[in-house]
Structure 1
Amino acid sequence: MASRPPEKWRAYMADTAREVAAGTLPPECPGAADLYPESLLRTTDAALEVFEVEVRALRELSEEAVFGAVERVVLALNAIDRDEQHGGPHFFTEEREELCDYIDLTLIEHGVDVAALAARRGIDRGAITDRWRDW
């Protein structure tokens, strides 16, 4: 199963905190809790979990059903990124790529031929989230 991006973000913050504690990074180095607040990590994890459950439950892999699941997770992630509770936005280039890769891998793991799906819509494989994505 594809690992959710917040797992990587938590690991990065833990590594950075260890390096600051060891004195190999200066204390003002980003990577502490304000880079990825726990509220952001929790809500992103929850949105991705809902997506996983939804994709797993698809009885048919119709384009409409798959794109519906993609739309819902992207809209949820848009709301998370805009939520001022997290001090956002937080989804920048690296995070965007990780989230898009995660969506792609999750679909593949559940039997969706993402390349063929995108081709039938006349879009690039990497653009399956673009129609709804603000981040």
Structure 2
Amino acid sequence: MANRPPENWRAWTAQVARDVEAGILETGCAEAAEMYPESLLGATDSALEAFEAEVGALVGPSDEEVFGVVERVVLALNAVDGDDSHGGAGYCTEEREQLCAYIDLTLSEHGVDVAALAERRGMNRTEITDAWRDW
């Protein structure tokens, strides 16, 4: 199963902290951890966990069912990204790309042919989240 993006973000934050402590990075770089407050990571994990459960429950899904699951996770991630309780932290370009790749990979791991699904809707597989995505 694919790693959830918050796992990557936690690992990066921990590596930055180790590098600052070892003197490899300047002390000012430690502020990079503020990009990923636990409130953002936990809320993102929760949204992705719900997505995984929904995808795992699909059996021979229609395109509408798959897009419904995608819509719900994107809307949940929109809410996380727009939540002021994260101290201004949210999803930037790299995080967006990781989240979209994760959605694609998770669908694929559960037997959804994402390229064919997107093609039937006249889009590229990288566009399956675009109709609902604010981040």
Distance 1:85 1:94 in 2: 21
- Deviation (angstroms), 1:23: 1.0
CA RMSD of aligned residues (A): 0.9
Could you tell me which amino acid in structure 1 is paired with residue 62 of structure 2? S
Q: State the partner residue of 1:31.
A: 32
Distance 1:87 1:68 in 2: 30
Is 2:80 the counterpart of 1:80?
yes
Q: State the partner residue of 1:93.
A: 93
1:1-135 aligned at under 5 Å gives the runs 1-29=1-29, 30-32=31-33, 34-135=34-135
Which whole-Å deviations, capped at 9, do the CAs of 1:65-89 have from their partners, x for residues lacking one?
A: 1000000000000000000001234
Unaligned runs of 5+ in 2: none
Q: Is the 8 A contact 1:82 1:89 kept in 2?
A: no
Could you tell me which amino acid in structure 2 is paired with residue 55 of structure 1? V
Q: Which runs of 4+ in 1 moved over 3 A?
A: none
Q: Which moved further from structure 2: 95-104 or 85-94?
A: 85-94
Distance 1:114 1:121 in 2: 11
Give me the TM-score of the superposition, normalised by structure 2: 0.96
Which whole-Å deviations, capped at 9, do the CAs of 1:50-79 have from their partners, x for residues lacking one?
A: 000000001232101100000000000000
% same residue: 66
Give me the TM-score of the superposition, normalised by structure 1: 0.96
Could you tell me which amino acid in structure 1 is paired with residue 18 of structure 2? R
Could you tell me which amino acid in structure 1 is paired with residue 98 of structure 2? E
Residue-pair matches, total? 134
Unaligned runs of 5+ in 1: none
Could you tell me which amino acid in structure 2 is paired with residue 90 of structure 1? G
The secondary structure found in structure 2 opposite 1:59 is coil
Q: Is the 8 A contact 2:37 2:89 kept in 1?
A: no
Distance 2:72 2:89 in 1: 19
